[in-house]
Amino acid sequence: MDKIFKNVPGSLNSLLVLEAAVRRGTFTAAAQELAISQPSVSRHISVLEGRLGQHLFVRENNQLRPTKSGLHLAGAVALGMGHLENAWADLLQKKSKEEIVIACSFGFSELWLMPRFRTLRTAVDGTTIKIATTDRMESLNFDEVDIAVVWDTSFSPDRPCIPLFDEVIVPVCSPEYLENNRDVLKSVESLAHADLLYFDPLTSGARMNWEKWFSHFDVAFSEPADAYYFDALPFVTDAARNGEGVALAWENLVTHSIEKGDLIAVGPPVRSGGTSYFLQYRNSALKDPKLQQVIQWFKETADAP
């Protein structure tokens, strides 16, 4: 499928940050709403300004105010999100008894669920499966979702859940990059000198980054101040697949790409000690055989307990 955001690659989360900053009036208020740090808000705005080549905020009397460009872009984002919310509501209103709505992040959908979606449809023959993707689980209306794949069960604490995967992180790159950089990739220590790709987990709940990964092997490493951060997991994985460098990836999400030969693990996996994804479902699932089929498919496919 052709990408519809050809002119804003890797900017979607930053655009959401911009919209919140303009609407809330301060970077601090935006950070509180999005559950991120104030410096992270500043960095997202700087990324957008660098890509656009113009200021989105100016400082006046010791206060930051949006420029006309900032107001224009934030308004467009708000309008687009409004259309998205309306479309979401329309789809949910049309939901029939023979439909099951599964919510998950963009990364989980693209990297894990879609490569296996045909087997899910086969397992629930006759039932329509609708996938609702979002990286803002905190804004999800769980009453309108049958099943959700989440990294934080506190979004809907009353729902039963099962752990799907332990969080296991592994560095990966393309076969071409490995062939051209074997000396750099021969050890954990030398890997620190490779073209490392960085993922900014704005809402993913990730507990691992390059600095923490290297620390597991007692290798001192600090992420450079000018590091480029991809703001969506599929973007950084695509960059690794395209030979741009080495990315940290959730092992369970890239198994399909590794089996196909698109990616190669070039370092030892590290367990963070937590669970990367949980499956939450309606309390009425025990009375719904169709939901039970989907839950059982997830458990068997993910090899979950």
Yes or no: say if 23 and 74 are a contact pair by the CB < 8 Å rule: yes
Yes or no: say if 246 and 195 are a contact pair by the CB < 8 Å rule: yes
Nearest to 277 by CA among 301, 293, 257: 301
Average pLDDT over residues 19-23: 91
Yes or no: say if 236 and 253 are a contact pair by the CB < 8 Å rule: no
Token output for 216: 């597991």
Q: How far apart are the first and last CA of the chain?
A: 35
| Distance, C-alpha 56 to centroid of its chain | 25
Q: Is residue 2 predicted with pLDDT exceeding 70?
A: no
Yes or no: say if 22 and 71 are a contact pair by the CB < 8 Å rule: yes
Q: Is residue 86 predicted with pLDDT exceeding 70?
A: yes
Count of beta carbons in the 10 Å neighbourhood of residue 263: 24
pLDDT of residue 231: 74
SS3 (DSSP) at 79: helix
Q: What gap in Å lies between CA 56 and CA 164, rounded to an integer? A: 41
- For residue 238, the number of C-alpha atoms closer than 13 Å in the C-beta half-sphere is 11
pLDDT in tens, 250-266: 898 898 899 999 999 99
Q: φ and ψ at 39, to 5 degrees?
A: -60, -30
Output 6 or 18, whichever has higher pLDDT.
18
Token output for 147: 């099943």
Average pLDDT over residues 102-127: 89
**Which amino acid does the sequence have at 189?**
E
Q: What gap in Å lies between CA 17 and CA 293, rounded to an integer? A: 38
- According to DSSP, the β-strands at 99-104 and 270-281 are unpaired
Global pTM reads 0.64
Please report the beta strands in the chain, taking only residues with DSSP state E, as ranges in sequence order.
57-60, 63-66, 99-104, 128-133, 147-150, 161-173, 196-199, 229-230, 246-250, 264-265, 270-281
Taking each continuous run of H as one helix and of E as one strand, the counts in the chain are 12, 11
Taking the CA atoms of 24, 7, 40 and 172 in sequence, report the sign of the dihedral they define: positive
pLDDT of residue 95: 53
